[in-house]
Amino acid sequence: MTSNTRSGQTWRATKILATLGSASESEAQITQLVQAGVNIVRMNFSHGTHEEHLKRIEMVRAIEKKLSQPIGILADMQGPKYRIGRVVDGLSLVEGSLIQFDQSDEIGNAERLPLPHPEIFKALYPGARLLMDDGKLALVVKTLADNAFTAEVLTGGPVLSRKGVNVPDIKLDTDVLTSKDLKDLEFALDKGADWIALSFVQSVSDVLAAKAKIAGRAQLMAKIEKPAALAEIQDIINASDAIMIARGDLGVELDAAEVPSVQKRLIYQCRKVGKPVVVATQMLESMIHSPTPTRAEATDVAGAVFDGADAVMLSAETAIGDYAVEAVKTMASILTSAEMHIKEFPFDGPAPLDVEPSIYHAVAKAAVALAQTIEAKAIIAYSASGNTAVRIARERPAIRLFVSTPELAVQRRLSVLFGATTLRQAESDYEAALSITKETLKQEKLVHTNDAIVVVAGFPFGLAGSTNAIRVEHI
């Protein structure tokens, strides 16, 4: 969002996700994060117990009520993470050496390493790469045998027990939701999570299988962190409710030089079909232990805004960082500055999109164009499902978007959507609903008497899927 000089407030369109952890486990700490600018919180189910997550969920809902501010909750499933078994202390792999991998649970040494994942053994072939410890070690498969293979060390270094393994060159035949994930998923849905993040998506079938299990109880966000997913990316985007560009594992398995262009392309593809897109991982990583970011990190965050991302995510920065609140404030400041730059230099921002051949998209695009032409102070969208808001946000308006909906669940789900500030209303009559909206905005000093606003609604009013009208109103 841009600066609202009339009210003296600064507002922001790009949303902030923050991961909760040991640095943000009290109600006071989470409240500070929300007040600093967090819109949606992430529960990372790779860590912590159900009891710990439940405590955080209950605190978030209490804060939401106290602040009268909807807060989305994202439950991030661990997914099929691959790791080596236990190894002897002080083990180091030497470049050029050969080492055997097998499925034994015996402690590994300089000659063999345990890899308890039969699906990897089934899919490997000579020449396939193995990456360990987030890409710090690299090996290439040389020979295959029954339940074992030999690999040459390309890049050596220390090896610790239970470190992660990536196999970028192959598509593994595995369920995207493990037995642990299924338990975590049911727990998260039962406790009212608004979004489910699906890790290590490889194909559209992964998304469809997960959505079938979710059964409409939450929205699904597909995490793009496997190169295999890029082969079906448009289908994955279409089937998902949102996309997360998870640059950690993606950056391990892809050449680092490819990640920026992949990020830019995915953001555009998501915008084109009106799906929220989140850029994640290492955005302000130095702020885990430093009160200020690097200039490169600030540029990276701003770049996500210039590309048109809906949201950016903080991981360890807020989960275990020493400067969690400062990281959120810094993120908010960078986002706001980038958005103000785009307002002044529009061609530095997201590229305009073609109008989709539907009434709903056409109405949304026309509403944004109209609001900008008449210098309206706000766009008001009445939306029972939130779909109208998504279509308007797709156009990346420089004008503040208020979404009025009768459902708290919709408010929470829109916490990840670019530019959307949500309001609750249950009126079934247009004039009554508009009157209440105007009064609410005036009381909050978000608009002023005689300000022009553009209203997007459907008639019959209040009927989901009926968006068909644009009106110019005045406060």
For the chain, percent of residues with pLDDT exceeding 90: 80
Tokens of 472: 């110019």
Which pLDDT belongs to residue 146? 87
Tell whether the model's pLDDT for residue 35 goes beyond 60. yes
**64: pLDDT confidence band, cut at 50, 70 and 90?**
very high
Distance from first CA to last CA of the chain, Å, rounded? 21
CA distance 221 to 198: 6
* Amino acid identity for residue 381 in this structure: A
Mean pLDDT of the chain: 92
User: Do residues 311 and 19 lie in contact, with contact meaning Cβ atoms separated by under 8 Å?
Assistant: no
Predicted pLDDT of residue 40: 98
Range from 3-12, 48-57, 270-279, 384-393 carrying the lowest mean pLDDT: 3-12
2-24 pLDDT tens trace: 333 333 346 899 999 999 999 99
d(CA 253, CA 353) in angstroms, rounded, equals 31
SS3 25: coil
CA separation for the pair 371, 364 (Å, rounded) = 11
Which residues does 93 contact at the CB level (< 8 Å), separation at least 6? 99, 110, 137, 139, 153, 156, 157, 159
Percentage of residues in the chain having pLDDT higher than 70:
97
Res. 461 pLDDT band, cuts 50 70 90: confident
**Cβ(387)–Cβ(359) under 8 Å?**
no
Contacts of 78 (CB under 8 A, 6+ apart): 45, 46, 178, 180, 181, 184, 199
User: Is residue 134 over pLDDT 90?
Assistant: no
Q: For the ranges 285-299, 406-420, 430-444, which has the lowest average pLDDT?
A: 430-444
How far is Cα 157 from Cα 134, in angstroms, rounded to an integer? 12
pLDDT at 78 over 70: yes
Average pLDDT over residues 310-314: 98
- Is 56 or 445 the better-scoring residue by pLDDT? 56
DSSP designation for 249: H
DSSP state letters, 430-471: HHHHHHHHHHHHHHTTSS-TT-EEEEEEESSTT-TT-EEEEE
Q: What is the pLDDT of residues 353-390, one digit of tens each?
A: 877 778 888 899 999 999 999 999 999 999 888 999 99
* Mean pLDDT calculated for residue range 87-97: 95
pLDDT value of residue 10: 66
Strands 165-166, 129-132: pairing is antiparallel
Q: Which of 29-43, 73-87, 434-448 has the lowest mean pLDDT?
A: 434-448
pLDDT for position 359 = 82
Domains defined along the chain, listed by start: 12-78+176-337 (3.20.20.60), 92-166 (2.40.33.10), 359-474 (3.40.1380.20)
Q: What is the mean pLDDT of residues 100-123?
A: 94
Distance of CA 397 to the CA centre of its chain: 20
Q: Can you tell me the distance from the alpha carbon of 196 to that of 241, in angstroms, rounded to the nearest whole number?
A: 10
What is d(CA 439, CA 56) in angstroms, rounded to the nearest whole number? 34
